[in-house]
Structure 1
C-alpha cells in the first residue's frame, strides 16, 4: 500500500521544487555624483539679486489721449528716434488748425493796423488830424503786433502738441515693461513703456543693515550668474540706498559689473559675493544635498572607483558657510574628488553603486534574472 503512494509523493515534491521562482540578483543602485570643481570658491557673504541696466526710463506721452497703436513689446530693441506708440491725433490736429487760423487772423489785423498808422502819420504831417489820433493808431498797431506774437507762440505750442501724439525713443535700449495697451485712455505723464538703456549693467541686491558697514569697506566684489556658475565677474558697489525698504527692512544696493560681457542679459539672477576677511577664501562649494550630519559633525560620501562602479567612503568635513548656492567646505575633501549629491542618507559604506553624473538622466535599474542550477 505504501509503495503505491511513493511515486505520487515524489512527483508532487518534484513539481513543488520546479514551481519556485527563479532567484533575481539586484542590479547596482544608481547614485547621483558630482566631481568637485578644480577652482576654489571665494568665501564671504552672498546676496542674490537681479541684473538691471544702470539707466532705466519710464516713457510717457506729454499729452492726454487714447492709444491707437503700439509698435513694440517687452524685449524689443529700439533705436533713437524710433516711434514706439501713437495717440489718436484728431483732437491735437484740430487744435493745431485752430491755432493756425488765429495766427492768420492776427496777421491780417496787424497788416491793417500798420497801414492805418502809416496813413495817419501822413495826415498828421499835413495837419489834417490831431496828434492824439495818431497815437491811438500807433497803440492799435503795437497791440496787433503783440497779438501776432501771441498767436505765433500758440500755433507753435499746438503744433508741438500734435507731434506729441507719437511716443519716440530718445535713447537706444530694450523695452523692459509695457503698461499701456491699444484703446486705453492715458493722462499726460502716465508711464506707458519702460526703456533700459544700452551700456553698463548692474545687479540690484537687498542687504541687511548689519552688513552695510562691511559693504562700504569692500572695494570690489564678485558677481556670479546662475546661468554661468563657473564664471566670476568683477563688480563694485556703486550705490547704497540711504533708507531701508519698509517691507523687507533691507537696503537696496546696486553693484556695477566692471567686466560685463554681451551674454549678461537683463533680468538674469546673479549672486554677489563679498570678499572674505576670515580666511574663508579657497573653500570648495558643494551642493547642500551632499552634506549630512554624522556623529555630531558634518560628512559627505566620497566615491572610490572600482571599474564601472563606485564604493562610498564616509568622509568628515568642516563646514565654512551655508549659502544659497550650496555649502562651503574648508577641509575634508579636495578638488577633483567625486562625491554623492543625492540620497546620502540611504547610502551604506562599501556597497557597490552605479555612478550617474549630475545633469545626466539615470538609466532604469532592471533586475537581472539568474537561472537556478538544473
Structure 2
C-alpha cells in the first residue's frame, strides 16, 4: 500500500526539476575594470636616504687643564662668536700657582742683581790685579747661574699664567653650540669634550648608507637633495666623505653629502632626503603598486591584448625607488601591466582595461 504523502511529494519534485531545467543560466559578472600602464624607462630610479643637515666643520671643544666647572656661559643652540667665553673652571688653585711663580721670578731677579753686582766688583778688582782669574771665574759662573735661574722662573711663570688663561674655554670660531656635555660643579679632565660647535659656513647632510649596497657608492658621486621644508625642490650635491667602517650597532656607513651651491637655504638640524641614482642594468620599471609576490617570487599581472584576460608574469626585480621598482627580466616595453588592486585579481580573469582618466583602453593601440 502506497503512502499518500509519498504520492504527493513525487509529482511536486518532478515539477520543480522540470522548471529548473527550463530556467536560463545566471548572467556572468561583467569584466572588472583595471588600471593598466606600460613599463616605463628606469632612468629616473633612485634610492632615497633620510639625513640631517649638519655643519661642514664641527670642532669638539675641551679644556686644556683639569678642574671643577664654576660657570657655564652658553646653552645649546646659542650663536657664539670667535673668542667668546663658553665656560670657566674654578681658578683659585691656579691663582695660587701663579702667585707662587711670580714670587719665584721676583726672587730670581733679586738674586741676579746681587750676583751681577758681585761680578762687576770682581771685574774691577781683576783689572787692578787684586784678584785672581779663578776667583773672577767663580763669581762669573754664579752670575750665569743667576741668569739661567731667572729664565727658568720666567718660563714657569708664563706657563702658570697660560694655565690660568686655560681655565676659560673660548669658542675657536663663530658658530652655533650643537652639543653640551658639562654642568656647573662637574669635575672635568683635560681633553675631554664638553662642547660641540657647528661652525658658520658650509652645510652638509649626514646620511647612513646600507652595508649591502656600500660598494655602489663613491666619493664625488652626484646626488640630489630634498629639504623637508622645501619638498618640491631638489638641490644638486655630491658625496664628500664616507666612513671606512660600519657602525657596530646599525651596520651602516656614515656619509657626508655636500651641496654644490653654497647658497642653499639649509638650516642646522633640518631633515633632508638624499636621492642617489643606482646604476642598475634594468631598462624598465613599474609602479610599486603593480608588484605582488607568491612564495617569495615577485610577479605582475599582464593583460592579454587579444582576450583581455590576466596572466601572472613572474619578474626579476632590481632596486626599489620612491615610487617605482626596476624590472631586470620578465617584461617587454609594450606589455600592459595592471598597476593597482593586484591583490584581488586571479589568473585568467576577464578585465576591462582603463587608463588613469578612467577611459577604456584599446589594447591593440597606444594608451
If the length of structure 1 is used for normalisation, what is the TM-score? 0.64
After superposition, give the CA deviation of every residue in 1:123-144 in whole Å (9 maximum; x if it has no partner).
2222322221111100000000
Residue number among 321, 328, 344 corresponding to 2:324 in the alignment: 328
Kept after mapping to 2: 8 A contact 1:42/1:282: no
**Conserved in 1, the CA contact under 8 Å of 2:45 and 2:325?**
no
The aligned counterpart of 1:84 is 86
Alpha-carbon distance between aligned partners in 1 of 2:283 and 2:263, rounded to the nearest angstrom: 25
- Matches of 1:79 and 1:230, distance apart in 2: 34
Where does the alignment leave 5 or more consecutive residues of structure 2 unmatched? 1-41, 302-314, 327-342, 345-367
Larger Rg over CA atoms:
2
CA deviation map 1:60-113 (0-9, x unaligned): 111111111111111011111111111111111111111111001000000100
Match for residue 95 of structure 1 among 94, 97, 108:
97
Partners of 1:82 and 1:169 within 8 A in 2 = yes
The superposition leaves residues 292-311 of structure 1 with CA deviations (integer Å, 9 ceiling, x where unpaired) of 9699758xxxxxxxxxxxxx
Q: 1:241 Cα deviation (Å)?
A: 1.8
What does 1:124-135 align with in structure 2 at a 5 Å threshold?
Answer: 124-135=126-137
Structure 1 counterpart SS, 2:152? helix
Contact 2:290–2:300 (Cα < 8 Å) also in 1: no
Cα 1:150–1:233 shift into 2, 3 Å: same
CA distance in 1, matches of 2:111, 2:182: 45
Match of 1:216 in 2: 218
Distance 2:60 2:205 in 1: 19
SS at match of 1:45: strand
- Select which of 113, 116, 119 maps to 1:117: 119
Give the alignment's TM-score, normalised by structure 2.
Answer: 0.65
Aligned counterpart, 1:371: none
Shift of 1:245: 2.5
**Preserved contact between residue 234 and residue 259 of structure 1 (Cα < 8 Å):** yes
Distance 1:284 1:226, change over 3 A: farther
Distance 2:136 2:239 in 1: 74
> Which stretches of structure 1, 4 residues or longer, exceed 6 Å deviation after superposition?
279-285, 290-296, 318-321
- The Cα RMSD (Å) is 3.4
What is the CA-CA distance between 1:263 and the residue it aligns to?
3.6
The whole-number CA distance in structure 2 between the counterparts of 1:282 and 1:49 is 29
1:284–1:174 CA distance, 2 compared to 1 (3 A): farther
Stretch of structure 1 that moved more, 126-135 or 78-87: 126-135
Task: Write the deviation string for residues 159-192 of structure 1: whole angstroms up to 9, x where unpaired.
Answer: 1111111111120111000001111111111211
Q: Distance in 2 between matches of 1:109 and 1:283?
A: 90
* Unaligned 5+ runs, structure 1: 1-39, 299-317, 331-343, 346-374
Deviation at 1:279, TM superposition (A): 9.2
After TM superposition, give the deviation of residue 262 of structure 1 in Å.
Answer: 5.8
Aligned counterpart for 1:142 among listed residues 134, 141, 144: 144
For 2:182, the equivalent position in structure 1 comes to 180
SS in 2 for 1:124: helix
1-structure distance, mates of 2:162, 2:293 = 76
In the TM superposition, 1:235-274 aligns within 5 A as 235-261=237-263, 263-274=265-276
